[in-house]
Structure 1
Amino acid sequence: MHNSAVANGANVSDGTTSAVDCHVKVLDERVVERATRAGLDAIVYAPHFTRLPDIRERAAAYSSDDLRVIPAREVFTGAWHERKHVLALGLEEPVPDFIPLEAAMAEFERQDAVVLAPHPGFLNVSLSESDLQQYRDVIDAVEIFNPKHLPHHNRRAGKLAEQFDYPPFTSSYAHLPRTVGVAHTEFDAAVESEADLCRALEDDVSRRVVHENGLAHWVATAGELAHLGYENTWKKADRFFLSGTEPTHPRHIAYDGRFDDVAVY
């Protein structure tokens, strides 16, 4: 069973629609198969701690006429214990993790990237109400449904989007292949490329938030919440803190020292 919410954007539809899972962390043949079976036209691939050129290369390898795989970066801003996730599409240059939120937002704005707020107000890993207010001119949309959320989290996300008049989106936020497709955003526009999706988000194209409502939803929530335990362990964090050689460490040689002065580690 599916549930959907309608959000009318600024542009009138010509009858064309595209189903997009706006945020997945995993990508392989199982993910493509599941996304295709769910009727998706595109998925946004944004794995943790992976540099943009590598994301682009993998996305291109799995993209086809049947399913567009769109590269993106979910940047971890700030220090680990107070990190805030921000999703950016349309980046021309890589942006590292663990730089202050204001530095990341300034870089996104400089590159004219599309900026999305995933899972707002969720635990200690999300943009807060004050962040959403402060960066109203930078953020293009707010996630109002996330399978990792419990119902009260989704209600709060919806209220935040409404409060600041943000266009909504949703995603499976899949860290596990079986979660792909349990939620998607249906845009009243053709999405056949990264540029198409960026335009739809920037231009506030009308859309619907669609998600599983029932057993499939709760199975996805249980699996993703269990995975969240690993996501928040110090064991995983240590790989970043103890070395400047990780791919998205701000002091990595790939960034040519551009972020050394704002690196929090």
Structure 2
Amino acid sequence: MDLHVKILNERVVARAKARGLDVLVYAPHFTRLPEIRERAERFSDEDLLVVPGREVFTGSWRNRRHVLAVGLSEPVPDFITLDGALSAFEEQGAAALVPHPEFLTVSLDADAAAEHRDRLHAVETHNFKAWPRQNRRARAVATDVDLPGFGSSYAHLLGSVGEVWTVFERRIESEADLVSALREGAPRRVLRRDGLRHRARAAVEFAHLGYENTWKKIERIFLSGTEPTHPDHIAYDGRFDAVSVY
């Protein structure tokens, strides 16, 4: 399974199947859980299970820490405290994963992972967008905090889907199966493709990072307060006011 992709359409599904994947976790940025869940259900079929996920941006934009939740039943906004996000995940029985640890300024570092170790269920040990030294550091973080690893393409682009994947030693036929496997630390292996084409696709995926972090995007996200995953959005009915950072 590819445990973290940002895009989902007919071409993504076709590519996932061609790559032999059984499961995708679909977790687009700044999209509320009901929309993610509806789209995941629409593209799931007998050959491919698409599981909804939420990569929550905790903290402020300049000091944000991403945490990936799988198994949420209720929406959780971005730009709340890390403790507030992890508490919401716990209340809902979701699996809390650490994507791209220590990658730039957008994830948990080793100290944060150690501090919250008992509330986390896995650390990403291979992210397709990251450089080799960053993935080596990620594996060291997972070892240091004694948490299982996982791998993903983190695909923002079609060509990245299925370049990295995770194989569990048990059958995963539903969202609940995946959440249980993650929360229980079920045995798994992290695998990836190799070769010049793989490395070229990784470079293109990394280059896409510049587009993701433009000022226009920052301005759109948190200055208006009306974005779907902003904690002030009417959909959250003030439930996260106490842990909002904006």
* TM-score category (smaller protein): over 0.9
3-state SS of paired residue (2:243): coil
Aligned residues: 246
Matched residue type, 1:110: E
1:222 equivalenced with 2:203 (yes/no): yes
2:107 is aligned to: 126
Larger deviation, residues 205-214 vs 73-82: 205-214
Alpha-carbon separation, structure 1, partners of 2:104 and 2:111:
15
Runs (5+) with no aligned partner, structure 2: none
Would the aligned equivalents of 1:147 and 1:217 in 2 still touch at CA under 8 Å? no
Would the aligned equivalents of 1:23 and 1:174 in 2 still touch at CA under 8 Å? yes
Match of 1:205 among 174, 177, 186: 186
Match of 2:141 among 160, 170, 176: 160
* Deviation of 1:260 (Å): 1.9
Higher helix proportion: 2
3-state SS of paired residue (2:79): coil
Runs (5+) with no aligned partner, structure 1: 1-19
Would the aligned equivalents of 1:24 and 1:175 in 2 still touch at CA under 8 Å? yes
Alpha-carbon separation, structure 2, partners of 1:180 and 1:128:
26
1:169 is aligned to: 150
Alignment of 1:60-99 (within 5 A): 60-99=41-80
1:179 equivalenced with 2:160 (yes/no): yes
Alpha-carbon separation, structure 1, partners of 2:190 and 2:198:
14
Matched residue type, 1:46: A
Alpha-carbon separation, structure 2, partners of 1:217 and 1:130:
32
1:39 equivalenced with 2:20 (yes/no): yes
Alpha-carbon separation, structure 2, partners of 1:220 and 1:196:
31
3-state SS of paired residue (1:55): helix
Alpha-carbon separation, structure 1, partners of 2:173 and 2:201:
27
3-state SS of paired residue (1:257): coil
1:56 is aligned to: 37
* Deviation of 1:241 (Å): 2.0
Alpha-carbon separation, structure 2, partners of 1:168 and 1:261:
32
Alpha-carbon separation, structure 2, partners of 1:214 and 1:149:
16
Matched residue type, 2:115: Q
- The structure whose RCO (Cα within 8 Å, separation 6+) is larger is 1
3-state SS of paired residue (1:145): strand
Identity of aligned residues (%): 59
1:151 is aligned to: 132
2:228 is aligned to: 247
* Deviation of 1:107 (Å): 1.3
Alpha-carbon separation, structure 2, partners of 1:246 and 1:139:
27
Q: After the TM superposition, which segments of 4 or more aligned residues of structure 1 sit over 3 Å from their partners?
A: none
